[in-house]
Amino acid sequence: MLTLTPGAVTLADLETIWRDTVAVRLDPQARPQIEAAAAIVAKAAAGDVAVYGVNTGFGKLASIKIAPGDTAQLQRNLILSHCCGVGEALDSATVRLMMALKLISLGRGASGVRWDICALLEGMIAAGVTPDVPSQGSVGASGDLAPLAHMAAVMIGEGWAHLDGTRLPGHEALARAGLRPIVLGPKEGLALINGTQFSTACALIGLFMAWRLTEAAVVTSALSTDAIMGSTAPLAPEIHRLRGHRGQIDVAAAMAALMAGSDIRESHREGDSRVQDPYCIRCQPQVTGAALDLLRHAAAVLEVEANAVTDNPLVLVERGEIVSGGNFHAEPVAFAADQMALAISEIGAIAQRRVALMVDPTLSFDLPPFLTPAPGLNSGMMIAEVTTAALMSENKHIAMPCSTDSTPTSANQEDHVSMAAHAAFRLRRMCANLSVILGVEAMCAAQGVEARAPLTTSAPLRAAIEALRRSVPALTTDRYMADDIAAAAAIVSGGEMTLAAAFALPR
């Protein structure tokens, strides 16, 4: 059981929720603030003054006053009418993280929901009741309305959910888990669907995947450098301290440590006719380090957003007021997702050039053509390199900014939106592409290092190759390659090579 303290939940907590099937609960100390806010909402609902979302319509219909006896129907109608999502359904881990984020936000005690709402979310997560949430339909303001409505629909016994691998009507999934649908009180439906939790969940997952792949890229780049007998002189710490960027300094130091003790490197310190390596070797700290800095910035933004209250209106308990604002606008998430997309794309772009370098006998410093021992009869890594080029190019296209796009919605009431939802959702696809690029690089680099025998690489890099070779044997003659590529991509994305090399980037 993971206890969540609203306002203080860490990225490590959130990654645990995503990667592991873990039950969560709010810190009980959050309850008094939650109940105080709910009492303010209840008082407003019984009064005569129009309060947006409590006793009025929504969006362009905010000027229409709702009678006290209709407030429960108002909230139910809101959920049902907003279940307009389309496209492929989110996987259960993403939905679980999204639900936890909503729980954290409600736990701040500024949304005006009853404790019962939080308890139901806790119960659903613990029992594995996962709402069926389509991936398309949000423009990232006013919050992620459609996807969050599909989550909330199950809470009121509507919609669809997954339980123990079976897709069930929402009410049946709750019943099988020993849970009961809830009747929404004033503002509760709006609190559930107004917010950035869909976009933030997808962006966080992109961050977690991209970070692990960035660590893998440092390992594969060090292997590639040794495979082509590249120089470690550009890793001199003095060079990177003179530039001053933290990511660049960290990547250069990591590569130098990974390559320390390599017989291959020591063999060509003297008498090497080459003056400089190509940029994809020489400028790895500058490129991967810059990407690392973008990921770190995005991580800081997303940790704040994960702990934020992002619905509207907000209940200011200390003032006893309900105030309309715009925290549902997901511009910070959109910017963070766009930054991560650039980082993912560039890590893949420079890695692909290293693959191209290794398969080209004119540039690889005497490695066999396409890394096959018998070229001509065998094509070796020829088309594996082409696959990396295709995925690199695809990621470049997908990386185009989403946050610069906007379109007015809701009869021009919501006239500027963030597009954070698809800025964040695309990141998983980009990371999947990057894992293949790095997987192929690992295959090529391992093949290249082994071709330098009897010279050997460093101990950490030998361990990384051994992790790869447990699933992907060395290429001696042409064989069916798709399974090897898939296995290498899984090893990279699973962190097996970095773990074997006993390597991790500082957060």
List Cα–Cα distances, 189 to 79, 85, 102, 249, 419, in angstroms.
Answer: 6, 17, 12, 48, 23
279 is catalytic: no
Tokens matching residue 38: 């709910």
Q: Which among 9, 3, 61, 58 has a CA at the least distance from the CA of 309?
A: 9
Residue 409: DSSP 8-state = B
> Using an 8 Å Cβ cutoff, are 205 and 14 in contact?
no
CA atoms within 13 A on the CB side of 407: 5
β-pair partners for 323:
314
Provide CB contacts within 8 A for 54, sequence distance 6+: 41, 44, 45, 71, 112, 186, 187, 313, 322
- Measured CA to CA, the distance from residue 419 to residue 421 in angstroms comes to 5
- Measured CA to CA, the distance from residue 96 to residue 285 in angstroms comes to 36
- Measured CA to CA, the distance from residue 53 to residue 188 in angstroms comes to 9
Provide CB contacts within 8 A for 307, sequence distance 6+: 6, 7, 8, 9, 104, 105, 108
Tokens matching residue 19: 């990667």
Of 18, 52, 328, 370, which residue is the catalytic one? Answer: 52
Helices (H) and strands (E) in the chain, counts: 20, 9
Count of Cβ atoms closer than 10 Å to residue 419 Cβ: 24
Tokens matching residue 498: 């970095």
Q: Residue 422: phi, psi to the nearest 5?
A: -80, -20
> Using an 8 Å Cβ cutoff, are 390 and 317 in contact?
no
- Measured CA to CA, the distance from residue 299 to residue 271 in angstroms comes to 45
**DSSP β-ladder status, 321-323 and 314-316:** antiparallel
Q: Which among 213, 185, 175, 202 has a CA at the least distance from the CA of 116?
A: 185
**Which sequence positions are flagged as catalytic?**
52
